Amino acid sequence: MRIASIVLYSKKDIYSNHFSILSLNAICTENRNGKLLLIIDKETVLPFILNDRIEIVYFPDYVFTKSLKKIWLRINLFSILKKHSVEKWFVFGDAIHDFKNNINFINSDYFYQNETLKKIIKTSTVIFVQNDFLKEKLHGIIKCDNQKLKTAFPGPLYPNLYLDHQNETEIKNNYSDGKEYFIIDEDFDSNNIVMLLKAFSIFKKWQQSNMKLLIIVNKKNATILTKLISNYKYRSDVQTIENSHIKINEIRFSAYAAIFLNTKGLFSMKALSFLENEIPIFMPTEESYTFSFEKCSLFFYNNEQSIAENLILLYKDEMLRNKLIENGKVFCENNNWNRVAKQMLSQIHDFKNR
Reference 245, options 179, 306, 311, 185; nearest CA is 185
Q: Where are the domains of the chain?
A: 3-155+336-352, 165-334
CATH architecture assignment, domain 165-334: 3-Layer(aba) Sandwich (3.40)
Q: How far apart are CA 125 and CA 117, in angstroms?
A: 14
**C-alpha atoms less than 13 angstroms from C-alpha of 135 in its C-beta half-sphere:** 18
* 3-155+336-352 to CATH, choices 3.10.20.30, 1.10.357.10, 3.30.1180.20, 3.40.50.2000: 3.40.50.2000
Q: Crossing angle of helices 304-316/318-334, nearest 10°?
A: 100
Q: How far apart are CA 8 and CA 68, in angstroms?
A: 13
Q: How far apart are CA 270 and CA 282, in angstroms?
A: 12
Question: Burial level of 86, CB count in 10 A (0-12/13-18/19+)?
Answer: buried
CB neighbours (10 Å) of residue 174? 13
For 239, phi and psi rounded to 5 degrees?
Answer: -125, 150
pLDDT score of 199: 96
Predicted confidence pLDDT, tens digits, the chain (354 residues):
566 666 665 555 544 455 555 555 555 555 555 666 777 777 765 555 455 667 778 889 888 777 788 788 878 888 888 888 777 776 665 444 455 566 666 655 555 566 766 776 776 777 778 888 888 887 877 777 777 888 888 778 887 888 999 999 999 999 999 999 999 998 788 888 999 999 999 999 988 889 999 999 988 888 888 888 988 999 999 999 998 899 999 999 999 999 999 887 778 889 999 999 999 999 999 888 888 899 999 999 999 999 999 999 999 999 999 999 999 999 999 888 778 777 777 777 776 666
Q: How many residues does the chain have?
A: 354
Tell me if domain 3-155+336-352 and domain 165-334 are identical in fold: yes
pLDDT score of 49: 46
Q: Which residues contact 75 (CB under 8 A, 6 or more apart)?
A: none
Q: How many helices (H) and strands (E) does the chain have?
A: 13, 13
Reference 184, options 200, 208, 205; nearest CA is 200
The DSSP element (H or E) to which 350 belongs, if any, is: helix 337-352
Q: Tell me, what amino acid is at 206? A: W
Spatial strand order in the sheet of 181-184: 238-242, 212-217, 181-184, 257-259, 281-284, 297-300
For 94, phi and psi rounded to 5 degrees?
Answer: -125, 30
